[in-house]
Structure 1
Amino acid sequence: MPSVLRENKGTLALALPIMVGHVSQMLLGLADTVMIGRVGTMELAAAAFANVIFNTFFVAAIGLLVAVSVNTAYEHGAKRDQEAAEILRNSLFIALFIGLSLALILCALKPLLYIFKQPESVTILAPKYLFWLAISLIPAVPALTVKSFCEAKNQPWVVFWVMLGGVALNIALNYVLIFGNLGFPRLELVGAGVATFISRMIVLLVIFYYLTQSKKLASSLPKKWISRLNKEKVTSLFKVGSPTAGQLTIAFGSFSITALLIGQFGNTALAAHQIALTCTALIFMFPLGIGMAVSIRVGHSIGSEEAKTCHPIIWGAQIISFLITGFFAISLILFSPAAARGFSTDPNLVELSASLLKIVALFLIFDGAQAISMSALRGLRDVIVPTVLIFFSYWVFAIPFGALFAFKLDFGARGLWVGLAAGLALGALLLTARLIQQLRKLVGLASESIQK
């Protein structure tokens, strides 16, 4: 236990700015949801639909960029600064290409949104908002690359403040562009999209300026930014990042399919889903931030050949996650109606949202446990089997189970969220079992090394 407590200090020191940074980004989504909700339920439903499409692509990019953290952490642990610099240079070029490619794909999807059979008002309002979200990927993906690099180099705080400033800017722009304040035109839903694009572009410019001017990172910057891509570094990025992108896409894709199914129950159900998903995503940022710190610290431990510290790092993080998610679970059970009223004054929407938030409370602890286990496995570079386990939990089990409750047993939107809760619980159990297996293998390898 003393070793767990000691390692928890190191994990929290790294996780705190990552957690708060992630929460600040979710506050951006929360602010959008609250402010769009004040325009109307129809607009909130359209925003929910557009975000479902957008985030499915965005999380794939985020998953790929996790490799930047993991690979940089290995090189940082081994004190190979110029190798880390090459990871950064190659990753930035890949990130720019990914951001541009995904933006073009999303723009091409705009005329095809009707095929998802959402309410007519949703398919009319969503495309223009989706356009601005799509082009915001061009600055957002490179900015996340720099953020991941700085965190892996144990320099997270300046990046955190830049990200937080971006949230404040986005809220201010929402205020003037959504509602037409201070002499600006009232753009409503489109205004939220424009605000997102502008704030993400400014964040990229500021964060890159910090990167190039920081004395603490100077030894880890490329000597030449513009040169041929390093095949080895690009291959490693995709080798580690692609399965992680698959994991996140599988997990988030299940929520996306759920949203499309919920859309068949009308605008109110879709808007309630957006409220529940926004709250879930916000809370999930806490265990996710801890998990990213675990990935980085495990990478440092393996890179510096101190594998014995992996056990206390990982299980200490599980304890922290349990305490945090347990607190939020109790809070949602007690205060879900009040939380729902913070998004809308529509009584039907508030009632349905509150019931969904109580279901969210039931799976938060499992959600936190699977986030830590998945991140720890990623730090151990075990990504293929966890991807299969996640696919089984969400797509083979959760979605059919939820559809049964929703359509056959007439539970509606609540039934689909019950399915998600069951899938998250199963995923947490399977991933934790896999983690225990891998840690036992790591102990065996360490023992063999000592004997030699």
Structure 2
Amino acid sequence: MTGSEKLNLIVALSMPSILAQITSVLMFYIDASMVGSLGAEASASIGIVEPATWLFGSLVSACSMGFYVQAAHFIGAKDFAQARRVMQHGYIFGLAVALILMTVGIVIASPLPRLLGGGADIQGDATTYFLILSMAAPIHLIENLSSQMLKVSGDMRHPSVIAVAMCFADVFFNFLFIFPTREITLLALHIKVFGFGLGVAGAAIGTLLAYLFACVPLLYYAVFKSKILAWRLSKGPFRWNAEYITSAVKLGAPMALQYLLMNGAQIVSTMIVAPLGNFAIAANSFAVTAESLCYMPGYGIGDAATTLVGQSVGARRKDLCKSFAHMTVILGMIVMAFMGLLMYIFAPEMIGILSPVPEIRALGTQVLRIEAFAEPFFAASIVAYSVCIGAGDTAVPSFINLGSMWFVRLTLAAALAPVYGLPGVWFAMATELTVRGILFLIRLLRGKWMRKIEDPIKTTE
């Protein structure tokens, strides 16, 4: 392949995924905006438990990853039968893990906001929000695994279209469940709109139903319609193969540990922010949501990198692995540098959409502009990490993420927060993301992430 052909392929795979990532973030953006209209306490009640909800979602993603990386390697080796078997094992094992996570979430939902430092005025709503989203774990597992399996098979279109539809569904469900029955004016017409008026709980219910809305068609396309993965293409009865589970655990365990400690670090970071008050908690949560609009293109390019590198590993094409890795990382850094510039310029508007409270807007604008300078290196860490996942190299990247988070970000944040408040916490974050990006660039250039390309891949007739 020529350089232009590789670039066209990267862009063709990235664009649908970028669209899907952006619409996914818009879903959370809309959630935050709707809840933000209810006031600072409602926003803080979500913000205090948000890192814990990310942790559960990340553990579900780590479980999925152990299976879709194997599938990518088998697809690259043209062994579609084993790719389908891996997928079947992924649903069974993944649902078992998701049910365990759901049970843990139900148990810890009540004491969690208090343990994280939330005040009595937000603990009730925070508990309800976390409890409802914990019950979404099995649905999220099926949605995530189905989407990722389709992507590594080369089908970016269906997951992307469904992600956009999920965003619109989330808006509908939020309007229905968050707000009470009310009268709105549309084109000089006064229309009565029904609503349940559940507030923060309504936001959680809306998100759960949006996941369910996406889960069903994704499962249908992955299991019944995919030209590579559809189960009807397999011959013979299903047979349990513990080796797939062992391989998935070897791939996913370092990632699960990383997510556990990374999101644990986010929880500690929230505990550092909590004493700064409800305005700081809400501004921190809104700024994270606003910033995610800027780094989602990096994750979209990362999806393309995982697919292309994973299939190149399966085909034993070391030259393609290296070329796709370098091109996707460079493209990600360019795109996110531009997004960082936009974030710096439009920070007041980005936060203004989310909250009408002046104190929250001022703090949110300040921290977003601090973070804007770290976006190119954040891109390097996102895409290079995705490259490593595609190559089955998960241990060292996990240590890089953990080390930078715990020894750079949290150390600096704990030292700066009492003196500089929330801006100090975000300066620590920007510094850590820059360090992490540099470490991943070093990992990428040294090439040790490609060592597994030499490993033999078992195939079946």
Q: Quick check: TM above 0.5?
A: yes
Moved more, 309-318 or 70-79: 309-318
Q: Secondary structure at the match of 1:117?
A: coil
Distance 1:115 1:442, change over 3 A: closer
Distance 1:135 1:272, change over 3 A: same
Moved more, 118-127 or 433-442: 433-442
**Pairs within 5 Å for 1:8-19:** 8-19=7-18
Structure 1 partner of 2:186: none
**Pairs within 5 Å for 1:19-38:** 19-38=18-37
Distance 1:15 1:225 in 2: 36
Structure 1 partner of 2:189: none
Structure 2 partner of 1:64: 63
Aligned-residue offset at 1:229: 3.3
Distance 2:13 2:23 in 1: 16
The one-letter code sitting in structure 2 at the alignment partner of 1:36 is V
Aligned-residue offset at 1:198: 1.6
**Pairs within 5 Å for 1:228-377:** 229-377=240-388
Q: Unpaired segments of 5 or more residues in structure 1?
A: 447-452
Aligned-residue offset at 1:193: 1.0
- Aligned partners of 1:142 and 1:204 also within 8 Å: yes
Aligned-residue offset at 1:284: 2.2
**Pairs within 5 Å for 1:148-227:** 148-181=148-181, 182-214=193-225, 216-217=227-228, 223=234, 227=238
- Aligned partners of 1:99 and 1:142 also within 8 Å: no
Q: Deviations over 1:78-125 (max 9, x none)?
A: 111110001110001122112211111111112212122222212122
Q: Unpaired segments of 5 or more residues in structure 2?
A: 182-192, 456-461
Distance 1:444 1:47, change over 3 A: closer
Distance 1:34 1:122, change over 3 A: same
Structure 1 partner of 2:190: none
**2:59 is equivalent to residue 50 of structure 1:** no
The one-letter code sitting in structure 2 at the alignment partner of 1:272 is A
Distance 2:230 2:354 in 1: 47
Aligned-residue offset at 1:255: 2.7
Aligned-residue offset at 1:228: 5.3
Q: CA RMSD in A?
A: 2.3
TM-score (norm 2): 0.91
The one-letter code sitting in structure 1 at the alignment partner of 2:170 is N
Structure 2 partner of 1:94: 93
Q: Secondary structure at the match of 1:342?
A: helix
Distance 1:405 1:335, change over 3 A: same
* Aligned length in residues: 443
Distance 1:224 1:116, change over 3 A: farther
Moved more, 271-280 or 214-223: 214-223
Structure 1 partner of 2:105: 106
Structure 2 partner of 1:413: 422
Distance 1:226 1:187 in 2: 47
Give me the identity figure in percent. Answer: 21
Aligned-residue offset at 1:302: 1.6
**2:439 is equivalent to residue 430 of structure 1:** yes
Aligned-residue offset at 1:356: 1.0
- Aligned partners of 1:82 and 1:219 also within 8 Å: no
Distance 1:292 1:9 in 2: 15
Distance 1:129 1:286 in 2: 28
Structure 2 partner of 1:147: 147
Q: Deviations over 1:166-216 (max 9, x none)?
A: 211111110121112433321111111111122212322222222333152
The one-letter code sitting in structure 1 at the alignment partner of 2:316 is E
**2:1 is equivalent to residue 7 of structure 1:** no
Structure 1 partner of 2:188: none
**2:147 is equivalent to residue 138 of structure 1:** no
